Amino acid sequence: MTSLHKLLSAAGVAALCVAALSGEALAAGPSCSGGTIKVGAVSTVTGPVDFSEVPKATQAAFEQFNAAGGVNGCKVDYTISDDKADPQVAAQAARDLIDNKEVVAMVGGASLLECQVNGATYKRKNVLAVQGLGVDAACFNSPSIAPVNVGPFTLTTAVSYYATRSLDIKKLCAFFIIIGGTQEAYKAAIENWEKITSQKVHVLDLTLPLQGDLTPYVVKARDAGCDAVINNAVEPGVVQWIKTADAQKITGINWLFLSPGYTEQVAKALADTRQPVYVGTEWEPYTDVNSEANKTWVASMSAAKRPLTAFSQGGYLAAQVFIDIVKGIDGPVTRDAVTLALLKMKPAKYPLAGSPYVFGETPTHSPMQSTKIMKLENGAWKVQTPSWVVLPAT
């Protein structure tokens, strides 16, 4: 080595040493003040529904992350706030987490209404939400919220697309329960299906009640000649719909439901039906506990003694997204750093989901565009599509 090279090498080493001592060296991964990263979730825990399984699964995943040492000594301090399905309580809970708790992000939330209530607050405060379960339409139409689930509207399109492609459906009929501002979202879901398939919906009924006699609706589907019906009823409504079809001795219609119908309770309640009943999943079928894709989720929930449900899949996945984001940060894990990392993230593939998850800098977020179809057979759910049904881009 020449004298000049030696001099330059020595100067380079000296410069790096000075930079390190002055704090100017490249950061080696994330760091945090006080050893904690504060994170929150606003969820409906008490009220008309209980979505607590979602954030509790997120909490379990974070506790296991902490027990393993976190990352660079940083551990997650996670707070679950109950919005009680009350808009005022939801707004207050978000403000408390942001202003008082000083969370860097919202992770694993699941609520009937908090996306609609708090979306503007998140945007104003530069807080992003990795929702464990997006429920209302605002969860998929906000620049500050990106759920890890497919959601009822995209799932409506995907299940209908499957029926057209695989069941040779010619006359699709849609019967929807409309709650809050979901009417336009369900109509848009059917319009998207029409664009993809070049078909037209045969019947679109937006008057399905939450409770009451379903006979007029089931008969309407029969008399209209529907060969498939897509329906957004939740667990009790699914059971009632199929039992009504049995009572009317209806045949020749494929009954299509969304993920709320995919429960073991529904399967048991309809064990005697011979109606063709299909549901779309949000993630890898949770009843398939031997699936390789479910392996880490099953291990995590079993260790935490949490139930193996689709809800817990969403909570667990939201935690994994956040942990991966934190691991990729060089320097202090602040609200601004997490927000920037989510906005700039590249699509990330997770075994539980059929689509890569990405937040990104877009005005709306519906990253998950895939489902697996389950069919009810003799009181149990069977995987109908081993491969993911992926919606084509429109």
Task: Note the pLDDT tens digit of each residue in 77-97.
Answer: 999 999 999 999 999 999 999
Task: Work out the number of other CB atoms within 10 angstroms of the CB of residue 6.
Answer: 10
The stretch 149-171 carries a mean pLDDT of 97
Q: How far apart are CA 166 and CA 259, in angstroms?
A: 19
Going by pLDDT thresholds of 50, 70 and 90, the confidence category of residue 29 is very high
Q: How far apart are CA 297 and CA 294, in angstroms?
A: 5
Task: Work out the number of other CB atoms within 10 angstroms of the CB of residue 390.
Answer: 13
Which of 319 and 181 is assigned the larger pLDDT?
319
The stretch 116-141 carries a mean pLDDT of 97
Bridge partners (DSSP) listed for residue 277: 255
- Give the pLDDT score at 78: 98
Contact 294, 387 (CB under 8 A): no
Task: Note the pLDDT tens digit of each residue in 286-299.
Answer: 999 889 999 999 99
The stretch 205-227 carries a mean pLDDT of 96
Task: Please say if the pLDDT value at position 105 is more than 70.
Answer: yes
The stretch 100-120 carries a mean pLDDT of 97
Q: How many helices (H) and strands (E) does the chain have?
A: 12, 15
The stretch 304-318 carries a mean pLDDT of 96
Going by pLDDT thresholds of 50, 70 and 90, the confidence category of residue 27 is low
Render the burial of 347-382: b for 16+ CB within 10 Å, e for the rest.
ebebbbbbbebbbeeeeebbbbbbbbbbebeeeebe
Q: Is 324 exposed, middle or buried (0-12, 13-18, 19+ CB in 10 A)?
A: middle
6 three-state secondary structure: helix
Q: Residue 92 has which token pair?
A: 């207050």
Q: How far apart are CA 385 and CA 33, in angstroms?
A: 47
Going by pLDDT thresholds of 50, 70 and 90, the confidence category of residue 8 is very low
Residue ranges of domains in the chain, CATH in brackets: 30-151+290-363 (3.40.50.2300), 153-281+372-390 (3.40.50.2300)
Bridge partners (DSSP) listed for residue 133: 110
Average pLDDT, the chain: 93
Model-level pTM?
0.91
Task: Note the pLDDT tens digit of each residue in 250-263.
Answer: 999 999 999 999 99
Task: Note the pLDDT tens digit of each residue in 32-63.
Answer: 989 999 999 999 999 888 999 999 999 999 99
Going by pLDDT thresholds of 50, 70 and 90, the confidence category of residue 179 is confident
- Give the pLDDT score at 19: 38
Element (H, E) at 293: none
Contact 109, 43 (CB under 8 A): yes
